[in-house]
Structure 1
Amino acid sequence: MTSQPPPPPQPGAQAVPTCYRHPDRETYVRCQRCERPICPDCMRDAAVGHQCPECVREGNREVRQARATFGGAAVATPRVTWTLLVLNVLAYAAEVLRPDEVVQRFAMWSLGVHLGEWWRLITSAFLHAPPPSFWHILFNMWALYALGPELERRLGSGRFAALYLLSALGGSVAIYLFGTSAVGASGAIYGLFGALFVVARRLGYDARGVLWLIGINVVLTFVVPGISWQGHLGGLVAGAIVAAGFAYAPRRNRALVQFGVAAAVLVALVLLVTMLPPYGLLQGALT
Structure 2
Amino acid sequence: MEPESAVTTCYRHPKVESYVRCTRCERFICPDCMREAAVGHQCPACVREGARSIRRPRTVVGGRVSTVPVVTYVLIALNVLAYLGELIRPALVDRFQMLGAALTGPDGGLYVWDAAHPDGYHPTGVADGEWYRLLTGAFLHLPATEGTFGILHIVMNMVSLWNLGRLVEYRLGRVRYLALYLLSALGGSVLVLLIAPTAATVGASGAIFGVGAAYYVLARRLGDDMNTVNRFMAGLVLWLVISAAFTSWQGHLGGLLTGGAISLAYAYAPRGPRQALIQTAACASMLVLLAAVAFAKVSELTGGGVTQ
Other structure's SS at 2:182 match: helix
- Deviation for aligned residue 1:110: 2.1
Say if 2:126 and 2:298, in contact at 8 Å, map to a contact too.
Answer: no
Other structure's SS at 1:193 match: helix
Matching residue of 1:215: 234
The one of 33, 48, 70 equivalent to 1:79 is: 70
Q: Does the alignment pair 1:267 with 2:285?
A: no
CA distance in 2, matches of 1:74, 1:157: 8
Q: Does the alignment pair 1:204 with 2:220?
A: no
Matched AA of 1:78: P
Runs of 4+ in 1 over 6 A off after TM superposition: 278-282
Q: 1:18 to 1:84 in 2, by over 3 A?
A: same
Say if 1:178 and 1:279, in contact at 8 Å, map to a contact too.
Answer: no
Say if 1:178 and 1:280, in contact at 8 Å, map to a contact too.
Answer: no
Identity of aligned residues (%): 48
- Deviation for aligned residue 1:17: 7.1
Q: Does the alignment pair 1:161 with 2:153?
A: no
Mapping 1:7-86, distance limit 5 Å: 16=6, 18-19=8-9, 21=11, 22=14, 25=17, 27=19, 29-86=20-77
TM-score normalised by length of structure 2: 0.77
TM-score normalised by length of structure 1: 0.83
CA distance in 2, matches of 1:127, 1:175: 15
Say if 1:177 and 1:279, in contact at 8 Å, map to a contact too.
Answer: no
Q: Does the alignment pair 1:231 with 2:251?
A: yes
Q: 1:164 to 1:17 in 2, by over 3 A?
A: same
- Deviation for aligned residue 1:43: 3.4
Q: 1:23 to 1:206 in 2, by over 3 A?
A: same
- Deviation for aligned residue 1:219: 2.0
Cα RMSD (Å)? 2.8
Gaps of 5+ in 2: 102-124, 304-308
- Deviation for aligned residue 1:137: 1.0
Q: Greater Rg, structure 1 or structure 2?
A: 1
The one of 93, 107, 128 equivalent to 1:115 is: 128
Say if 1:221 and 1:228, in contact at 8 Å, map to a contact too.
Answer: no
- Count of paired positions: 270
Say if 1:110 and 1:278, in contact at 8 Å, map to a contact too.
Answer: no
Matched AA of 1:123: T
CA distance in 1, matches of 2:86, 2:29: 64
